[in-house]
Each structure stands twice: as structure tokens, then as C-alpha cells.
A and B are shown apart, each in its own frame.
Chain A
Amino acid sequence: MKNSRRTSHAKVLKAEQSFEQENGGLPRLSRSPHPYSRRSFRLESPSICAPKSRDGVDDRESQDIASGPTTTKEKERRRSQNGQRHSSDTASSSDAEEEQQFQFKALPPPSTKPSKGLRIPSQNGGQHDITPLLTPTALHEAEGRLANGYFDETNGSSISQVELDKLKIRFETKRRLSLIHRGCEVPLLVVITLVVLNGEGVWEQARRCSRGDYDKQRSLRKLSDNLQSSSLQWA
């Protein structure tokens, strides 16, 4: 079993080496068409989808800088390789750069579909989270996005202001309808309470309980009697 695994792994390595030799030392693009695992909401490999830093330099490049001194020749060769890679697909270099940026930029996390009654893998990688069965998960998530200003940060690149406004309006509508949905339970319960109180003679009982004078006098008399007896006992 182990031997077969070793041989298959060696075959894969050999194929990769031959691919690199054929393409002039270009490493095989190991990017998966599915950047996210089907069962996980986390990135599969942080190296593939490394986020772009704020100064416009790719983190991969900055990692290279941090890893050690590199010659400018190597950098130019790498850039030219990237350019060659994308030149066949795109007409202009700016498009290639955009695609390159898109490739290395972190994508927004996929929306968590409210899977009724099922458990979802935790984002922390630990135990399984329990999907809140009867709560609007997607709505809650949208609220969190809007509250954290997620769309504001990504506004310049992917979502325009008009789309953002549409999203906000849609979210507000959903939220309002959800509140109406939840709020309907309160008047319904009030109506049921009134029907029960009216139907089973509860009002009559309450009236008899709060009939007032006789009962109050009786209870006061009882209280005074108790006080007298206790004072006599103490005396």
C-alpha cells in the first residue's frame, strides 16, 4: 500500500518536472477552479488567494522581498513570465494586470445557505457549528456585512454605488418584513389571551377576587387578629 502511494507520488513529481522543463521553467499553475472547499468556508490555500496589500504590491511579491534579497533580473524575469502567461488570454497588459490582481485578491466569503437542521463546518475549523434552524441566517449575515462596511471597502473594485444602494434597499426590505413576521406573533398571542380570559369565565373570577370591600375588611380584620395574638404571645 505504502509502496504504491510512493510510486504514484513520484510519478506526479516527475510529470511536474517535465512540465516545467517543457515550459521553460514555468511552474505549473496549481490554482483550483474552486477557490473554496465545498464543505468549508475558508480558503483552501492562503498562498493562492493571498490578499493584496494596501500599497498595491502583491503579498507574494512582498513575501519574496521579505524572504531574502532578490536580484532585479529575477524580478523582471518573473514579471515577464507572468506577462507571457496572460498575454495569450488578454489583449492589453492592463487587463492582464487586473486579472492577475483578481487572481491574488481574496474573494468575499460565500454566503452561508440556511441549511435547515443540518450542521455546518465551523469557520474556526473546530467543532461543527449548529445552523440556527429557524432564524434567518442569510439576513443576519447581510446585516453583519453592511454593519461592518464590507461593501464600502470593495466598492471601488467590484460593486458600484448603485448596486450597493440596491443591496441596502433589498436588505432593509427583508429586515422590515422579517420584523413584521416576528411581530405578528405578539398581537396573535394577545388575541388568544383575550379569547381565553373572556371565554372561560376568567373575568368573572377576577371580578369576584377583586370584589373589594368585604374581602379587604375581612383580610384586615384577620391581620389585626394575628397581630394581637402575636403581641399577646410576646407579652
Chain B
Amino acid sequence: MGIVGALFVLYPLRLTAKSFIQCGKLSMRSFQIPAAFDPAPVLYPPILPVLVALSIAPGNANAVLPSLVLGLSSVPAHLVPQIASSELVSSVHWALTMLLTSAAKHNITAGSHIPTNTAPHVEILALLFPLHRNLLAVITSLTTTSLLSSEAQLLTVALINLLLLSATPQAKILSIILWTGGLSLFVFCSHIVESNVALERVPVQQLKRAGRALSTGSRSFVASLADSLGGQWQGDDGAELDDKSIAVNTSESSTTYVNSSPLKPTRPSLRAQRTNTRERSSSFRTTRTLMLTPQQIEMRKWAYAIWTYLIIIIVILLPIRYLVQGALNAQEPFGWALGYVFGDIPALHNLITTNNLQSWIPLSFDSNSTSTTTTSLPHPKLAPTPTPTLRLLLILHALLTLTIGITTVLLLTPYLYIDTRRKIFHFTMVVLLLPTLPLDPCFFALALSLILALFLLLDFIRAAQLRPLSKPLARFLTPYVDGRDLRGPVVVSHIFLLIGCAIPLWLSLGGVDRAGDGAWSGWEIRNKDRGDISMLAGVVCVGMGDAAASLVGRRYGKRKWMWGGGKSLEGSAAFAGAVVVGLSVGKVWIGYVEMWRMGGEVIGNGFEMGMLEWFTWGIKAIIAAMGASFMETVLTGCNDNVVVPVVLWLLVRGLRL
């Protein structure tokens, strides 16, 4: 923090010194803050990850040190002096991170209470800075303008932290899915996707007529893929690569245009220049694409889609499946999932035991006692831990809630504004998660991770315009997108909504001890950690607070905040009130769940609290809600659906609610 603060303080002094060196006089213009200055990239990426790490594990150097190094790496490059302007990665910046690493390591080894074997390796910490820089570049190139700079920084830090610090099975699975799946798709499909998007951009009426088709139909699928994979990365504009590949394909396969040089535009390109002056600069690309007939374009689009789907299936079945086994105590993931969800169904249970499939599909209780009689299956009401039957009921509840929510939105679409329609999804998340999440937090952590992976995959298919799913997906999403989604290729609203609901749960479960035996080791939390209300912060914040602020602010918002904009005091008050109500309901509900789980025994969470304790708790809840509401009001440089739940989670844990 001291280093970051020193960099902030030194920045205007450096500017003044630079202007003095260049102009020979002191210029006060160096100190002027532009009116459009947004402090979010300076504030949140360096500070929030450190606060989260301190809140999860204050005494664990494993968690805090990487966050400190990554926080320092997230400081904007302008704030750090550079030795040479031509260097790609600031060596001074890297040296500062290593200085921080060495200082922290010295403190760790000096402190007697922290075991040395838990401290992170120095080499890993030293390599965090280049890893952060490269990952940030990749994320920025993939998402282009969809993410703000501070969001890209936070995402980068979160992914690296997930890679380094994932210790629970749920976090490991999420890390494996995001890193392995993402890297595999990036390596094997990025060029294919760029080619497909470039083909989709070409208007059909400008393609070559089928009657004048060239003999390119015999071009093999493998050769097309090989050409596309062999292309070079051309930067953000993916059309360059595709045009090159198409040019190669066409010139090789066609006898008519075999002598056509890329530098010598042929007749179609001239026609394109005349007819479409807006794309004059891209006439060369159009030239190459216009040489293909619609049938050839169609064939290539399907080939690209099939290749991408094939890669997705292979990646899921081979590397992800293999790596997830490590998080599941060497259990095969699909068999483990069957036992995890359907293990209590008597028919399946008998089938597994009779065919001796326990090694593939683990069961949650002793098979010998249940193979004789199915009536001895433990009822979820009396079970000390969540059972597959309960998980099955939770899945049914989720499906029913989603069905009702989506049907309601579709029925009310002609009568409601888009913002109101979007808020119905927020309420759906509340109904879906608030009553059920305390029942089995680990299950929901896994389910939300899988749903996040599914959302990312579907949006990848939509953005890549892969057939046949992209158009139905785009048609479904179109009524619900807003300006934030139109910034770039990624529709971020539903992804951020899901992350906002899930991230407090993931963070809360990241710092608690685990229980469970055998195949279920690490899939239960201990009783002392069950009453943690902070895991509900995301649902309360996104589902209740945000929706209440929007609805109340639109209808009753008269007094705006002094700096203008769309936010009103009434909306902010509604946000805070809804959060207080949500936290109170969550606390009482968690207490009931624990009492229900323990067979009627009262173990806390409000049931033995006196009036004074309730009053104190209420004051703390109001403070936390006001902090989150104020953050939602002033936050502009990051998505509020993600940052505000994290802030509420920090406040709830910090105030010990």
C-alpha cells in the first residue's frame, strides 16, 4: 500500500519535473485533473483484491502475498516511471513487485507464528507481474471493448488468484474449467472463429453468383482448416486472417483467378469500391471474399462450426475431465456427478450396488445397509448433512423458478419496459437462491461455477456466430441487452449478474474449513461456518437492492444526487432498505435451516440473541447497506453488479454480521 501511495504522490512531481526539463519552466498544467477523470482504474484493481484476501485469510501469507503483488501490478503503467519508453514491460514496475515480494518474505520468515512451508514460493511471486501483464493483454484482445479497463484488471487478478489459491474442490473445478477450457479454445479455435466472423460480415448479395461458380467445391475441409490454422495473428481485426486464408484457398483451387495477385485488384474489387464506398479501405478483403459463392461460404461456416464444437467436446472430455478428477479425490467426474445428485434414488442405488459400480458412481451412504431395504434411506429433514435427495429437490426448484421467471418475462414483454423486464430476472435470482443457498452452499458453489462456464460458452458461440446456435441465442438475448452490452462483442449483463450473485458465496467458502469423507471429502462445511451470512451478500445486493433501487427510483425518485445523473436519493434509500431486509431475512432463515438440520436444536443465528444484540446487529446491517448503496451510487468505472456485492461482502464480514 505504501508503494502504491508513493507512486500516486510521485506522479504529479514527475510530471512537473518532466515539463521543467522540456520547457525550462514550471508548468502548473501538470497538476490539472481533467473533468473526465475516472479514478476507478487507479483505486479498485490495486485495493479490492488485497482487501478480499485479508478478509478471507488475514493470517495466511499464501493468500495475501499474491494479492499484494498483483495489486501492485495493477497500478496503471503511467504511474510507474520507465527507464526507456520502448520497453514493453516496465522493468521498474517489475522490480517494485519483486521488492515487495522480498520485503514480505522477510517479514514472514521473521514472524514466528506463520509456518514457513505455507509461504508462497519466491519464484512464483516474482513471475506474477509478467503473467498479469500477458493475461491482461489476452483478455483485452479477446473482449476488446466489452470490458472497461478496471474490469479487465480485476478479472485478470481474479483469474490468477483462482489459479494460485484454489484449494477447495469447487474452486479447483472452476479454475480448471476457466483456465483449461479458455486456453484450449484460445489456442485451437481463435483463428477459426475469426474466419467465421469475417465470413458472417460479408453481405450475401455481394457474393459471387452461383451460376458463375468456380470449381472450389472440392476443397477439402481439412485443407481449409489447415490453411486457417496456419494463418498469422493479425491483431484485433480478425478479418485480415480470414481473407488471407480465403485468398489462398481461392487462388489454389480456382483456375480462373490463379494469377490474381493480392496487390492487383480484380474486377469484383473495383465493383465493390464503386458500390460501397464505406468499405473502400477493405476492398481487398471484399475482393477475396467475393470470389466465393454462397454455397462455398455456407460450407466453410458449417466447417468452422463443426470444428469448434468438436474442440469443445474434446476439451471437456479429455483435459478438463482428467484434471477435475484431481479435485474429486480421483473420482471420475460424470460418475461422481451421478452419485452426487441421484445417489438417493432407490432404483439407481440398487442398480449401482447390484452391478458393483461404486468405484465409478460413489454413493453417499453405506450400500450394505440400503441394499437390503430402501426404506432406510435417510430423510433429508433428519440428515446431518445435505443429501442427494435434497440436491435433487434444489435442482427441481431451480428449474421450476427459472421456467416461471422466463415465462413471466415473455408474457409481460409487450407491457413492460426493458429495465423492468431485466429486474424480473433479478427477482428470479432471489427466489432461486435466497431460500435454498443456505441448505447446501457447496452444491450451489459448484452449480454456479458450471452455469458460469455454460454462460461463457454460449456467449462464445453467439459472439463467434457459430451455426446453428448463434442466431437463436442472439434472438433470445436481443430484447434484454442494453448499451453496456453493445459496447463490444460480449453480452456481459447476464454474466455479471451471475458473477455478482455467486462471488460472495465463492469467497465465503474459500476461507472455511471443509468436511466430508471419501468421495465427498471437501464437499461439506463445518457447523461453525454454516451461519455465515456473508454468502448471501450477492443475492441480497443484486437481486433485492439493485431491483428495488431501480423500481423505486424510477417511480418515486424526485431528489437527485447533487452531481446529477440518473440516480436519486429515493432509489439509493430503497437499495439500502432492501439490503437490510434481505440480510435480516437471510439471518433468520439461516437460523431456521440450522435448527431444522440439527433436529430442532437452537444453535444461534438470532434465536438466542437479546434485544440489545439485535439492535446492534441492525445498526451494523444499516451501516453495511448504506456503504453498499453509496458505492452503487458513486461507482462508474466498474460494473456495479460485481463490485457492489463484493463491497457488501467485505462490509458484512468486517462488521461481523
Contact = CB atoms under 8 A, between A and B. Distances in A.
Interface of A: 115-118, 130, 132-137, 139-140, 142-143, 174-175, 177-182, 184-186, 188-189, 191-193, 195-202, 205, 208-209, 214-216, 218-219, 222
A195 B35 contact: no
Contacts of B559: none
B113 A140 contact: no
B31 to A, nearest CB: 13
B656 A209 contact: no
B111 interface: yes
Contacts of A139: 35-36
Interface string B40-74: 10011001000100110011000000000000000
Contacts of A137: 36
B635 interface: yes
A208 B571 CA distance: 44
B636 to A, nearest CB: 4
Interface in B109-164: 109-113, 145, 148
Nearest to A195: B654
A205 B37 CA distance: 37
Central interface residue in A178, A191, A192, by most chain B CB within 10 Å: A192
Given A133-B487, A139-B36, A182-B37, A215 B110 contact: yes
Nearest to B656: A199
B654 A136 contact: no
A219 B112 CA distance: 10
Given A115-B483, A186-B43, A200-B54, A134 B38 contact: yes
Nearest to B634: A184
B655 A177 contact: no
A133 B588 CA distance: 40
19 contacts: A117-B484, A134-B38, A137-B36, A140-B36, A142-B35, A174-B35, A177-B563, A184-B634, A188-B630, A192-B651, A195-B650, A198-B654, A200-B653, A201-B59, A205-B58, A209-B111, A215-B111, A215-B112, A219-B109
A-B CB proximity, top 5 nearest: A117-B483, A199-B654, A195-B654, A181-B563, A140-B36
Contacts of A136: 35-36
Contacts of A195: 627, 650-651, 654-655
Given A115-B483, A191-B627, 19 more contacts: A116-B483, A118-B483, A134-B148, A135-B36, A135-B636, A143-B35, A177-B563, A178-B563, A180-B562, A181-B561, A182-B39, A188-B631, A188-B634, A189-B47, A195-B627, A200-B58, A201-B58, A208-B111, A222-B109
B235 interface: no
A189 B654 contact: no
B103 interface: no
B563 A185 contact: no
Nearest to B561: A181
A182 B38 contact: yes
A116 B656 CA distance: 38
- Majority-rule SS of B interface residues: loop
Interface in B489-528: none
Contacts of B38: 134-135, 182
A185 B34 contact: no
A192 B51 contact: yes
B40 to A, nearest CB: 7
A208 B113 contact: yes
Interface in B540-585: 561-565
Interface in B296-336: none
Contacts of B58: 200-202, 205
- Majority-rule SS of A interface residues: helix
A132 B486 CA distance: 13
B231 interface: no
Given A200-B55, A201-B58, A208-B111, A132 B654 contact: no
A132 B37 CA distance: 11
B482 interface: yes
A185 B59 CA distance: 28
B91 interface: no
Nearest to B623: A195
B47 A143 contact: no
A208 B58 CA distance: 12
A190 B361 CA distance: 50
Interface of B: 33-40, 43-44, 47, 51, 54-55, 58-59, 106-107, 109-113, 145, 148, 482-487, 561-565, 627, 630-631, 634-637, 647, 650-651, 653-656
Nearest to A139: B35
Given A130-B145, A134-B148, A192 B647 contact: yes
B186 to A, nearest CB: 24
A181 B634 contact: yes
B40 A185 contact: yes
A186 B38 CA distance: 11
B112 A133 contact: no
Given A196-B54, A200-B55, A202-B54, A117 B487 contact: yes
A196 B631 CA distance: 16
Given A199-B653, A215-B112, A219-B110, A140 B35 contact: yes
A185 B43 CA distance: 8
B487 A185 contact: no
Contact of B650 (A178, A192, A222): A192
Contacts of B44: 189
A196 B656 CA distance: 10
A192 B627 contact: yes
A198 B650 CA distance: 11
Contacts of A181: 561, 563, 565, 634
A179 to B, nearest CB: 7
Contacts of A174: 35, 564
Contact of B110 (A133, A182, A202, A216): A216
Nearest to A143: B35
A101 to B, nearest CB: 34
A199 B39 contact: no
Contacts of B487: 117, 130, 133
A186 B110 CA distance: 33
B655 A199 contact: yes
A185 B486 contact: no
A117 B487 CA distance: 5
Nearest to B652: A199
Contacts of B653: 196, 199-200
A181 B107 CA distance: 39
A186 B39 contact: yes
Contact of B39 (A142, A185, A202): A185
Contacts of A198: 654
Contacts of A177: 562-564
A125 to B, nearest CB: 10
B39 A197 contact: no
Nearest to B114: A209
Central interface residue in A115, A132, A202, A216, by most chain B CB within 10 Å: A202
Given A200-B654, A216-B110, A218-B110, A175 B35 contact: yes
Given A140-B34, A192-B651, A180 B563 contact: yes
A132 B47 CA distance: 24
B369 to A, nearest CB: 43
A142 B167 CA distance: 52
A191 B647 CA distance: 11
Nearest to B108: A209
Nearest to B144: A130
A134 B637 contact: yes
A6 B655 CA distance: 78
B114 to A, nearest CB: 8
A189 to B, nearest CB: 6
